[in-house]
Amino acid sequence: MFGLAKEINKSKAWKRLEHQAKRMRKIEMRDMFDKDPERAKKFAVGLENIFVDFSKNRIDERSFAALLNLAKEAKVAKRIEQMFAGDKINTTEHRAVLHTALRNRGNAPVYVDGRDVMPEINRVLAKIKTFSEAVRLGKFTGQTGKKLTNIVNIGIGGSDLGPKMAAEALKKYWAKDIRCYFISNIDGTACAEVLNKLDPETTLFIVCSKTFMTIETLTNAKTCRRWLVDALGEPAVAKHFVAVSTNVEKVAEFGINTDNMFEFWDFVGGRYSVWSAIGLITAIAAGYENFEKMLEGAYEMDRHFRTAEPAKNIPVVLALLSVWYGNFFGIRNHAVVPYDQYLCYLPAYLQQLVMESNGKSVGQDNKFVKYQTAPVVFGGAGTDVQHSFFQMIHQGTSVVPCDFIVPAISHNEIGEHHEILLANVLAQSEALMRGKTLQEAAAELKAAGKSKEEVARLKKYKSFKGNRPSNMMILKKIDPHALGMLVAMYEHKTFVEGVIWNINSFDQMGVELGKQMALQILPELQGNREGTKHDASTKALISLIRGLRK
């Protein structure tokens, strides 16, 4: 139903882009800037408090037009409408994809199987508001009547990365007496290190698991439950645990009051769930009004994505650039570098969003695709990463497109800190684009008083190829509205990439195989079962570990 009539890599648009890429390999970005003083205006889009400059990319008007034609041939506009309309575009699981409905601030009806889902979404949002305010005001208290000020989110994947990213990004808005913690890894150290910091009387646990059966989350939740019961007794569970789940029976069996269970739905995938009750910890820490502003920011990006023409549609443009480098230049990596400490978890969040969504090799037509799909996403906060992987980005043999993200105004304007930060991010982007020729390096060394021999010896080390692409995303400030816009922008970019590659961005079956095999190995490690068929290496490792643990 949703597959392309023809494989996209055999389309006229694709073939035209192969020709354009061959032409563009010979063109330097610095030359394009020198020849066209309007370039920075032509290749930039502003939307409220976010401005995206994509002029430092290896495109010109001809190649950009060819990219837009690819979007047309892939029927991107039609697929956007199908998503917002609630069509079941998650074809392998036969589900609608409606994380956009969670932030539908216009409250227009959204139908799934003929039923408007907005009343149910609004009911859960109202419940989040009531509960988060009760915790913040000390009206919902723990077993001993003390205010709950330590909030612990227990989840994994989208139930951890999303709320952790959002809560940290909005840390400036936290109530002064609230502290947030996150437990995700099955490694007992992750659980122990958090519990060692907490007072049972003032701790609230939020268990985030749609099925309430995820092994990592339930194992951690049970450990936290034992810790609490040992300190305060069995009745404390109902006062110190809440759940974000759909499994009423399992939640009640755990001892959680089902009045304190917050639902979400099959049409919301885990990595798109930060807008749902999965964001409960953000609403408690930063206040529901700020959680709501984050939803409003995402809604503004949704409206832009749905209505803007492709050439000025931020997610569409960014997706096309990703396809351009991955499929026509053979570039397999992409770096995301926020120059704001509050966004330090954004790269990890985007790793899951991009690679879990589009790390696929089977198309919607049930055939193996014959072209590259998702890039490897990595990153970290600037300026820290300038002293880690930027050497490779500037002078390595691999070209790595970069997204730079920076607010014009910091929440913490201390001395010259922010001006220095801004100068660094702008310099990195320009340096990647311009580079430094051998002639420029030689002239610089000569001006520094180096001898002719030293110039000859050092000029290659001091030169930079340049012509390395980047996008610059400038926000006025990292506030809830801007955060919502930014995250929704990346969601929609990822979706458009999947549309062009003709893959389903909304399942994650590749996550399951390792988990299934781990359940087979576990009883063998515990000595409860022998003889399961494994390769020689795995058998030997199981035996070695059992011996060491004795």
Which one from 356, 491, 497, 524 is the annotated catalytic residue?
356
- What is the tally of helices (H) and strands (E) in the chain? 23, 13
Instruction: For residue 334, give the nearest of 345, 344, 319 by alpha carbon.
Output: 319
Which strand ranges, in their side-by-side order, compose the sheet holding 261-262?
Answer: 179-183, 150-154, 203-208, 241-244, 261-262
Which one from 94, 176, 387, 550 is the annotated catalytic residue?
387
State how far the Cα of 280 lies from the Cα of 421, in Å rounded to an integer: 32
Which residues, including other chains, have CB under 8 Å from residue 94's CB and lie 6 or more apart?
Answer: 88
State how far the Cα of 529 lies from the Cα of 524, in Å rounded to an integer: 5
State how far the Cα of 483 lies from the Cα of 535, in Å rounded to an integer: 47
CB 239 within 8 Å of CB 143:
yes
State how far the Cα of 381 lies from the Cα of 206, in Å rounded to an integer: 28
Residue 361's alpha-carbon distances to 309, 331, 502, 504, in angstroms, are 30, 17, 10, 10
State how far the Cα of 106 lies from the Cα of 104, in Å rounded to an integer: 5
- 387 flagged as catalytic: yes
Q: Which residues pair with 473 in a beta bridge?
A: 52, 405
Phi, psi angles (nearest 5°) of residue 305: -60, -35
* Cα 466–Cα 468–Cα 474 angle in degrees, nearest 5: 120
CB 328 within 8 Å of CB 322:
no
Which one from 15, 41, 312, 515 is the annotated catalytic residue?
515
- 356 flagged as catalytic: yes
State how far the Cα of 403 lies from the Cα of 335, in Å rounded to an integer: 6
SS3 state at 64: helix
* Residue pointed to by tokens 């000390």: 138
* Residue pointed to by tokens 């801004």: 422
- What sign does the CA torsion over 5, 90, 329, 469 have? positive
Active-site residue list: 356, 387, 515
